[in-house]
């Protein structure tokens, strides 16, 4: 099948408006006759469910947690972007569009990104109307902060809990519709397959996680808002349950999977503490507004810090290497994530890591304490030369901004970050790749949509901070509700979709077979045993820097591990009861397939772009080297085994932005 991205004609700034004016609508009375399944109730799925229900569709929503309020989106900390230009610092729709395309290393689709920038301002209006308590200044107006890769202040936030507040906003909008009976919510349900009838997505197979029952659910269209797949790496900043199962099963039923190798490794996470580690904790990027990143200049100081004979606070300014400020004077500590992560890896690989394992750098707030403290002393008319007082005043300001993050750090590491710099290291955080969608957010399967992190569309090879929340809510509140109507307009006379068809029989049978196989396997090792092994392969061979040899090895090793998994995994308990190991096993089985395609995609992409860095393709200064011949989206078609997947290319055309070397110097 040839890929048709369905980008509307016309100048970029008019595409979305023109498109909305031309597409088919479903009249309000007919919407009542149409069912839509939404899998996932994070920011993307939650906002879509609420909006479609408001419009009058019958929504059936699914999540695996016990409440929609617990979706992984809840953990987002730093903020959400919007081109409001409230700070008067020159922001505009165009600038947000430009920053996002450049930040994505010229690997995203221009038309989608422009639409995202256009609707960004509506998101903030909508959320405020819902009662989302964003941070405000003393004049009562909304406050902003800056994030990496941009030169304006356009990030809206609610302390370090922006995702929580936005998700609770979407959750409240959903609750209103659940109360009215327009959304039927299925919590503790896991989608195991999509059902395709006559070439169209018409339902799903789900497992009730409490009773173990396998259920059939039908609808006129199916929407996946099931999040990203970073847990393929085992250790990541994702919630424990985040998985690729829904997306992967859709892929196996015909949805192309785009750019699986584009993964974001976030520069500021708490370093690994030991083998027991189950997840990694992010320290929000917003900290780079005020924190400065450094390692010692000299190896002898590194040694002394590691053996505890020297404290980082004792090291003189001249003996510190603020390597981001040194290498990237224009953006300094606020370079994009991919750049910051690789720079940390470069220093640690060179032997300058500051913890026992040599995999940590400092994030230091000492200068910020003094800077804010001076300002406060001045405002309050206090002694501006009293260093102790100033430090204290400054700490109060920093506490106000990031108090919960500092507290979180202290709880985990048992060190007080007001007294000693934080230690951080990069960790897997977000996946730019995902299910391929056209401009309407429809996958290559008619009637099957993908929104939020589950799709691939807006961030290219690297996502800018505070843009995932923006994209999730843009898709759910403002894009899908229009575009899905265009498709559903043909379904007003279809009537309810039966679940008693051979397609539902077949899909249920295939889901049941997998479950039976898993519970009856009688192997010797737990699911985590295999998941950890997969994670090691992914991190070592498909991580921050990749090369041909490693990737080829990864492909073979993952395939072997998958075989071993099916032979030797052990799952206690039964299928017809609450059984977390069984649920986990299904997810890991899919990660073991996705991982192979991931490595294959990275191998084929013989260039470096954004989060994808190939050792073979770098400039003499060690920066990523993009190649013109790779200016395309890789969309993979499933053909029975990950290794047999067929590559389709969507060429990326840049008409409104000049493709340049991405420089943050």
Partner 1 sequence: MNLTLKIWRQKGANDKGKIVDYPITEVSPDMSFLEMLDVLNQELIEKGEEPVAFDHDCREGICGSCSMFVNGQAHGPDSMVTVCQLHMRSFKDGDTIFIEPWRATAFPVIKDLIVDRSAFDRIQQAGGFISVNTSGNTQDANAIPIDKHDADTAFDAATCIGCGACVASCKNSSAMLFVSAKVSQFALLPQGKVEATDRVLNMVKQMDDEGFGNCTNTGACEVECPKGISLENIARMNREYLSASLKG
Active-site positions? 337
Longest dimension (CA), the chain: 81
The CA distance from 473 to 479, in Å, is: 9
CA-angle at 390, arms to 310 and 291, nearest 5°? 55
Q: Which does 478 bind (CB under 5 to 8 A by kind): partner 1, ligand FAD, none?
A: partner 1
Tokens of 522: 């009688």
The item of partner 1, ligand FAD, none sharing an interface with residue 45, based on CB under 5 to 8 Å by kind, is ligand FAD
Q: Rounded to the nearest 5°, which phi and psi values hold at 449?
A: -115, 155
Complex with ligand FAD: residue 250 or 561, whichever CB lies closer: 250
Helical H segments across 353-386, by residue range: 366-380
Count other Cβ atoms within 10 Å, centred on residue 134.
19
- With CB cut-offs between 5 and 8 Å by kind, which of partner 1, ligand FAD, none does residue 653 bind? none
State which residue, 301 or 453, has the beta carbon closest to ligand FAD. Answer: 453
Q: Which does 412 bind (CB under 5 to 8 A by kind): partner 1, ligand FAD, none?
A: partner 1
3-state secondary structure of 181: coil
Q: The sheet that has 200-208: what strands, in order across it?
A: 189-197, 200-208, 214-218
Find which of ligand FAD, partner 1, none residue 86 binds, CB within 5 to 8 Å per kind: partner 1
CB nearer to partner 1: pick between 281 and 494? 281
Burial class (CB in 10 A: 0-12, 13-18, 19+), 466: buried
Complex with partner 1: residue 86 or 328, whichever CB lies closer: 86
Q: Least CB distance from residue 175 to partner 1, whole Å?
A: 4
Q: For residues 104 and 461, is the Cβ–Cβ distance under 8 A?
A: yes
**Nearest distance, CB of residue 629 and ligand FAD, angstroms:** 30
Which CB, 377 or 408, lies closer to ligand FAD?
408
Helix/strand/coil for 143: coil
- Provide the minimum distance between the beta carbon of 284 and partner 1 in the complex, in angstroms, as a whole number: 12
Task: Provide CB contacts within 8 A for 55, sequence distance 6+.
Answer: 28, 31, 481, 485
**The entry of ligand FAD, partner 1, none that residue 175 binds, CB within 5 to 8 Å by partner kind:** partner 1
DSSP state of 16: H
Nearer to partner 1, 86 or 504 (CB): 86
Q: Residue 361 pairs with which residues in a beta bridge?
A: 424
Contact 292, 325 (CB under 8 A): yes
Local structure of 648: helix, strand or coil? strand
By C-alpha distance, which of 359, 340, 339 is closest to 350? 359
Smallest distance, partner 1 to C-beta of residue 566, A:
17
- Of the candidates 245, 216, 253, the one whose C-alpha atom is nearest the C-alpha of residue 502 is 216
Query: Cβ closer to ligand FAD: 108 or 376?
Result: 108
Alpha-carbon span 328 to 140, nearest angstrom? 36
Task: Decide which of partner 1, ligand FAD, none touches 642; Cβ closer than 5 to 8 Å per partner kind.
Answer: none
In the complex, minimum distance from the CB of residue 661 to partner 1, in angstroms, rounded to a whole number: 37
Instruction: Give the Cα separation of 482 and 19 in Å (integer).
Output: 10
Smaller CB distance to ligand FAD: residue 242 or 483? 242
- Which entry of partner 1, ligand FAD, none binds 469, CB below 5 to 8 A by partner kind? ligand FAD
Beta-sheet pairing, 422-431 with 263-269: antiparallel
Q: Please, what is the minimum distance in Å from the beta carbon of residue 131 to partner 1?
A: 5
- 625/644 Cα distance (integer angstroms): 28
Residues that bind ligand FAD (CB under 6 A): 39-45, 62-65, 71-73, 75-80, 162-163, 189-191, 225-227, 237-238, 242-243, 245-246, 282, 429-430, 452-454, 466-469, 472
d(CA 117, CA 93): 5
The site partner of 485 among ligand FAD, partner 1, none (C-beta below 5 to 8 Å per kind) is none
Contact 12, 111 (CB under 8 A): yes
| Binding-site partner at residue 133 among partner 1, ligand FAD, none, CB < 5 to 8 Å by type | partner 1
Pairing outcome for strands 361-364 and 422-431: antiparallel
Smallest distance, ligand FAD to C-beta of residue 73, A:
3
- Min CB(320)–partner 1 separation in Å: 27
Distance from C-alpha of 452 to C-alpha of 224, rounded to nearest angstrom: 9
Nearer to ligand FAD, 44 or 554 (CB): 44
Q: How many Å from the N-terminal Cα to the C-terminal Cα in the chain?
A: 42
Of 87, 77, 84, 175, whose CA–CA distance to 131 is shortest? 175
Give all strands of the β-sheet with 448-450 in edge-to-edge order.
Answer: 183-186, 58-62, 35-39, 221-224, 448-450
Token pair belonging to 158? 């609610």
Integer angstrom CA distances of residue 618 from 120, 127, 332: 34, 42, 21
Q: Which is nearer to ligand FAD, 78 or 312 (CB)?
A: 78
Binder of residue 142, out of partner 1, ligand FAD, none (CB less than 5 to 8 A by kind): partner 1
Sheet holding 257-258, edge to edge: 434-435, 257-258, 632-637, 646-651
Given the complex with ligand FAD, which of 287 and 324 has the nearer CB atom? 287
Q: To the nearest whole angstrom, how small is the minimum distance from the Cβ of residue 117 to ligand FAD?
A: 14
For the bound state, the minimum distance from the C-beta of residue 140 to partner 1, rounded and expressed in Å, comes to 3
| Shortest Cβ 510–partner 1 spacing (Å) | 26
């Amino acid at each position: 099948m040839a890929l048709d991205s369905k980008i509307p004609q016309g100048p970029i700034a008019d595409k979305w408006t023109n498109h909305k004016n031309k597409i088919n609508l479903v009249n309000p009375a007919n919407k009542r006759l149409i069912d839509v399944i939404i899998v996932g109730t994070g920011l993307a799925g939650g906002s879509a469910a609420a909006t479609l229900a408001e419009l009058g569709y019958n929504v059936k929503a699914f999540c695996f947690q016990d409440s929609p309020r617990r979706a992984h989106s809840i953990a987002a900390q730093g903020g959400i972007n919007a081109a409001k230009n409230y700070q008067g610092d020159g922001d505009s729709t165009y600038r947000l569009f430009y920053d996002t395309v450049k930040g994505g290393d010229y690997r995203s689709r221009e038309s989608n990104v422009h639409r995202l920038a256009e609707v960004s301002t509506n998101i903030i209006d909508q959320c405020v109307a819902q009662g989302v308590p964003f941070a405000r200044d003393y004049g009562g107006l909304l406050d902003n902060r800056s994030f990496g890769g941009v030169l304006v202040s356009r990030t809206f936030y609610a302390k370090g809990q922006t995702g929580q507040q936005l998700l609770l906003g979407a959750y409240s909008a959903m609750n209103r519709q659940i109360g009215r009976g327009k959304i039927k919510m299925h919590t503790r349900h896991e989608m195991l397959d999509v059902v395709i009838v006559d070439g169209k997505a018409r339902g799903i197979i789900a497992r009730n996680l409490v009773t173990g029952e396998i259920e059939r659910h039908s609808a006129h269209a199916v929407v996946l808002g099931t999040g990203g797949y970073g847990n393929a790496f085992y250790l990541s900043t994702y919630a424990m349950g985040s998985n690729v199962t829904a997306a992967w099963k859709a892929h196996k039923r015909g949805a192309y999977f785009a750019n699986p190798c584009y993964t974001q490794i976030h520069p500021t996470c708490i370093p690994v503490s030991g083998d027991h580690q189950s997840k990694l904790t992010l320290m929000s990027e917003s900290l780079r507004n005020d924190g400065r990143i450094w390692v010692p200049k000299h190896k002898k100081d590194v040694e002394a810090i590691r053996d505890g004979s020297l404290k980082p606070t004792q090291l003189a300014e001249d003996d510190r290497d603020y390597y981001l400020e040194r290498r990237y004077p224009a953006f300094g500590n606020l370079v994009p994530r991919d750049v910051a992560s690789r720079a940390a890896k470069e220093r640690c690989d060179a032997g300058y890591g500051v913890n026992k394992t040599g995999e940590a750098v400092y994030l230091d707030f000492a200068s910020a304490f003094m800077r804010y403290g001076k300002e406060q002393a001045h405002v309050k008319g206090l002694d501006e030369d009293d260093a102790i007082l100033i430090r204290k005043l400054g700490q109060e300001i920093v506490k106000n901004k990031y108090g919960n993050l500092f507290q979180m750090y202290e709880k985990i590491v048992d060190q007080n970050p007001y007294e000693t710099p934080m230690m951080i290291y990069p960790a897997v955080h977000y996946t730019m790749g995902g299910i391929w969608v056209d401009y309407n957010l429809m996958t290559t399967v008619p009637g099957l949509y993908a929104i939020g992190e589950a799709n691939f569309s807006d961030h290219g090879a690297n996502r800018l901070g505070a843009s995932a929340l923006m994209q999730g809510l843009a898709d759910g509140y403002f894009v899908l509700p229009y575009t899905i109507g265009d498709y559903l307009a043909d379904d007003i006379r279809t009537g309810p979709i039966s679940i008693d068809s051979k397609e539902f029989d077949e899909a249920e049978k295939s889901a049941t077979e997998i479950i039976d196989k898993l519970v009856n396997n009688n192997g010797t090792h737990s699911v985590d045993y295999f998941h950890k092994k997969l994670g090691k392969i992914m991190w070592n061979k498909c991580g921050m820097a990749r090369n041909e040899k490693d990737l080829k090895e990864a492909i073979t090793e993952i395939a072997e591990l998958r075989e071993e998994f099916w032979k030797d995994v052990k799952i206690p308990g039964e299928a017809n009861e609450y059984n977390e190991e069984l649920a986990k096993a299904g997810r890991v089985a899919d990660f073991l397939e996705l991982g192979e395609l991931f490595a294959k995609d990275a191998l084929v992409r013989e260039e470096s772009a954004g989060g994808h860095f190939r050792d073979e393709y770098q400039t003499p200064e060690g920066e990523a080297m993009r190649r013109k011949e790779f200016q395309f989206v890789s969309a993979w078609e499933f053909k029975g085994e990950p290794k047999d997947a067929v590559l389709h290319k969507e060429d990326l055309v840049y008409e409104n932005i000049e493709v340049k070397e991405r420089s943050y110097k």
